Structure 1
């Protein structure tokens, strides 16, 4: 059995804009831990000074995360209480800290997460897009081919899709969404959430692109892109083209498989197609779909 250490790592979310969004519990933790591991000391100091908190800070960013994690583990093994914070929002989500948390679990050191701000979830809640099922994809890749490949792979993702994007690439990314996913897919741009210039705007992808191009101030600051999930078209109309495909496939496959493949090709209900075939044919199709 691994030794149990008394140290504790607190994962502390900080406001994504409005400083009033910090929780009382987060302030208590930041005030009472032995030290704070911050993504950016200067940035975190602004928050601490606003709430009159004085504590020892050390820098832990993507460049020094591995070395600093080893040092912090030693402090935690001595029984220290440490708070992990990012520049804004919930740590680890696109921010450093995962190496440290993995090491804590490996060395049996307690990790306590605090609830708090997260731009993706905050934007999703106000998007008006179905949100019971969603996938978070982080920042879109900066290279066009990689970005387009990713978007194309998500073309038929039925869950709501969430991305982060910067003002420098937003126009390119929305244009790629129109080309790789669907120009008529509903998209929401949530900009500067909780900040002074907060705005939430939704329309088809092509309309969003035109809307952004009309005014450069519409794509300043930090942005969340929310894309409605793919909705498969299940038509009840069985066309001649659909039946032609079915009869070709029926020469090579069982009734069940021919119906299944045809329904996927033409995006029709397999049950409707099966019923149509049975009703309108007097040949020897005596198999059932459920053999």
Structure 2
């Protein structure tokens, strides 16, 4: 590797089989690896026969380490950044380092791999076309509830990471703020031996964890279904006539979009009504 690069390398979140061949190759070839916890990462390096030197890079020393890493890159060295597990910078250190390296004129290259949030989202059964990642909520109850209140009206799926000693408090707060019937998915210990994916209303998932304390152990991703606006059970006859008239000259989808813009009704509902009108002709 002749060019000085900073590689952002994803590592397994549990199952070592998720380590990619490219990640192994990069970690073997770089001059130094910046790791969130060198003792933790040393075990991973030993497993894959990687003997590249490690240097710590975490929340408390990232600014100092960024200066050191840039000096080494200026001297022609190539560096990799890893976190304890998963994709670096996703609720982990690294933002300041990446920004500083880019501002110093060096390339930053991703080496994709495991990410707990994306893995959980993919099996949640919740809409994935748009979603929001909150990271960790505030540790204290009042702050946590206030933040949930700000997320309550989101129409898209959203999710958080949570620790075992706060998971029940989080579920209590979800009931308090969102109600017991909001649909959620809870992913525990993803890719590990006791991986569990639960889905249902908040109260249903809460009951499962209350009945089995083992389900309260491990690291969690909690995904919450977006808020659904209540809709009128019927679309007025006048609006139906408007839609029907537009459909004479426009495709159903376009006609539904026009009526939605004029009335504020949901385009999806108007499109379904248009299909029904078309089928009855």
TM-score when scaled to structure 1? 0.79
2:158 alignment partner in structure 1: 161
Counterpart CA distance in 2 for 1:219 and 1:73 is 42
Offset of 1:42 from its aligned partner? Answer: 1.0
Counterpart of 2:22 (choices 25, 29, 34) is: 25
Q: Where in structure 2 are the equivalents of 1:96-135 lying within 5 Å?
A: 96-135=93-132
Counterpart CA distance in 2 for 1:96 and 1:24 is 24
Unaligned runs of 5+ in 2: 236-258, 266-281
Q: Where in structure 2 are the equivalents of 1:64-83 lying within 5 Å?
A: 64-83=61-80
Whether 1:39 and 2:39 are equivalent positions in the alignment is: no
Q: CA RMSD in A?
A: 2.1
Counterpart CA distance in 1 for 2:264 and 2:24 is 63
Partner secondary structure for residue 169 of structure 1: helix
Counterpart CA distance in 2 for 1:228 and 1:274 is 23
Contact 2:40 2:84 in 1 (8 A): yes
Counterpart CA distance in 1 for 2:231 and 2:102 is 47
Q: As a proportion of its length, which structure holds more helix? A: 2
User: Structure 1 residues 50, 236: closer, same or farther in 2, change over 3 A?
Assistant: same
Whether 1:49 and 2:82 are equivalent positions in the alignment is: no
1:182 alignment partner in structure 2: 179
Unaligned runs of 5+ in 1: 239-268, 276-291
Q: How many residues align?
A: 242
Contact 1:236 1:272 in 2 (8 A): no
Counterpart CA distance in 1 for 2:211 and 2:141 is 23
Whether 1:205 and 2:197 are equivalent positions in the alignment is: no
Partner secondary structure for residue 168 of structure 1: helix
Which is greater in Rg? 1
Counterpart of 1:226 (choices 212, 223, 227) is: 223
Counterpart CA distance in 2 for 1:171 and 1:132 is 29
Counterpart CA distance in 1 for 2:141 and 2:264 is 43
Q: Deviations over 1:10-63 (max 9, x none)?
A: 000000000110100000000000000000111111111111111111011111
Q: Deviations over 1:78-135 (max 9, x none)?
A: 1111000000000011111111100111111110011110000001101111111100
